[in-house]
C-alpha cells in the first residue's frame, strides 16, 4: 500500500481486542498521522471493559475527529471523501457479515461499503474463536469484494515480554501493512538455533 498524507479512518467494533485499537492510535499519533474514529455501540462496551474508561477517553482525545455510528450523514458515509485506508480493528462477526452482504445499517458499514465501491483500501481485523461456516464464508465474500483480511492472530516468535508488547508488535505490523514505516519494529532476521 502506498503512503499518502490522507487521514486514516479507524472503526472499533465490539469484539475482544480493544488494546489493539488503543495501540493503533498511539503509534499513529506518535507518527503525526491524522486518525478519524468511529466506535460502534458494542465497541464502546468492550473498550470500557478491556481498557477501562481511561483508555476509551484517551482514544477519543487522540482522534482528530470522532463520528457517531448512527450519523449516516457524516463525512465517511460518502464515497467522495478521501482517506489513506479504513481499518476495522477489531472487527466483529456481525460487522463482517454486514460488510460481506452490503447491509449499511450504521456509519461503519456504510463507510466500508464506500471503500469497497471506490476500490480504496479496507482492512478488516476479525476476531472470534472458534469460527463457524458463516464467519468463514463471510471472510471470503468480503475478501472477494476487495477487503483485506488481517486476522487478530499475533505471532510469538519475537517473544513479546507481556500483553502490551504483543499488542504493539501486532499493531506495528498492521500499520506497516497500510503503508507506514514504524521504527523499532523487529523484522525477522532469519537467525534461529537449528
Ligand atoms: C465482552 C464482549 C466481547 C465480545 N467479543 C466478541 C468477539 O470477540 N467477536 C465477535 O464477533 N463478537 C464479540 N462480541 C459480540 C458483539 O459485541 C456483538 O455481536 C455486537 O452486536 C456487535 O456489534 P458491532 O459489530 O456493531 O460492534 C462480544 C461482546 C461482548 C459484550
- Record: fold of 8-177: Rossmann fold (3.40.50)
Mean pLDDT value across residues 163-170: 95
Looking at the CA of residue 69, tell me the nearest atom of ligand 1.
26
Residue 190 scores a pLDDT above 90:
no
For 43-66, b where at least 16 C-beta lie within 10 A, e where not — what string?
beebbeebbeeebbebbeebbeee
- Establish how many alpha carbons lie within 13 A of residue 125's alpha carbon, considering only the half-sphere containing its beta carbon: 28
Mean pLDDT value across residues 156-169: 93
Q: What is the pLDDT of residue 118?
A: 95
Residue 1 scores a pLDDT above 80:
no
- Closest Cα to atom 25 of ligand 1: 95
Query: For 76-114, what is each residue's pLDDT tens digit?
Result: 999 887 899 999 999 999 999 999 999 999 999 999 999
Domain boundaries, the chain: 8-177
- Cα of 3 vs centre of ligand 1, distance in Å, is 31
Residue 189 scores a pLDDT above 90:
no
Looking at the CA of residue 17, tell me the nearest atom of ligand 1.
8
Of the residues 38, 92, 128, 136, which should be mutated to test ligand 1's pocket, given the most ligand atoms within 8 Å of the CB? Answer: 92
Tell me the pLDDT band of 191, cut-offs 50, 70 and 90. Answer: confident
Q: What is the pTM assigned to this prediction? A: 0.96
Q: What is the pLDDT of residue 4?
A: 73
Amino acid at each position: 500500500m502506498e503512503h499518502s498524507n490522507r487521514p486514516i479512518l479507524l472503526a472499533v467494533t465490539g469484539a475482544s481486542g480493544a488494546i489493539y485499537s488503543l495501540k493503533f492510535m498511539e503509534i499513529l499519533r506518535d507518527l503525526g498521522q491524522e486518525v478519524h474514529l468511529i466506535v460502534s455501540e458494542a465497541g464502546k462496551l468492550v473498550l470500557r471493559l478491556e481498557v477501562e474508561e481511561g483508555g476509551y477517553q484517551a482514544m477519543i482525545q487522540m482522534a482528530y475527529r470522532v463520528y457517531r455510528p448512527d450519523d449516516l450523514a457524516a463525512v465517511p458515509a460518502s464515497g467522495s471523501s478521501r482517506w489513506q485506508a479504513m481499518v476495522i480493528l477489531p472487527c466483529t462477526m456481525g460487522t463482517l457479515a454486514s460488510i460481506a452482504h452490503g447491509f449499511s445499517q450504521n456509519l461503519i458499514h456504510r463507510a466500508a461499503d464506500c471503500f469497497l465501491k471506490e476500490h480504496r483500501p479496507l482492512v478488516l481485523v476479525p476476531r472470534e474463536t472458534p469460527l463457524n461456516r458463516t464467519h468463514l464464508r463471510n471472510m471470503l465474500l468480503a475478501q472477494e469484494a476487495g477487503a483485506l483480511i488481517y486476522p487478530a492472530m499475533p505471532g510469538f516468535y519475537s517473544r513479546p515480554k507481556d500483553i502490551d508488547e504483543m499488542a504493539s508488535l501486532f499493531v506495528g505490523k498492521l500499520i506497516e501493512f497500510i503503508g507506514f514505516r514504524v521504527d523499532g519494529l523487529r523484522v525477522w532476521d532469519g537467525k534461529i538455533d537449528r
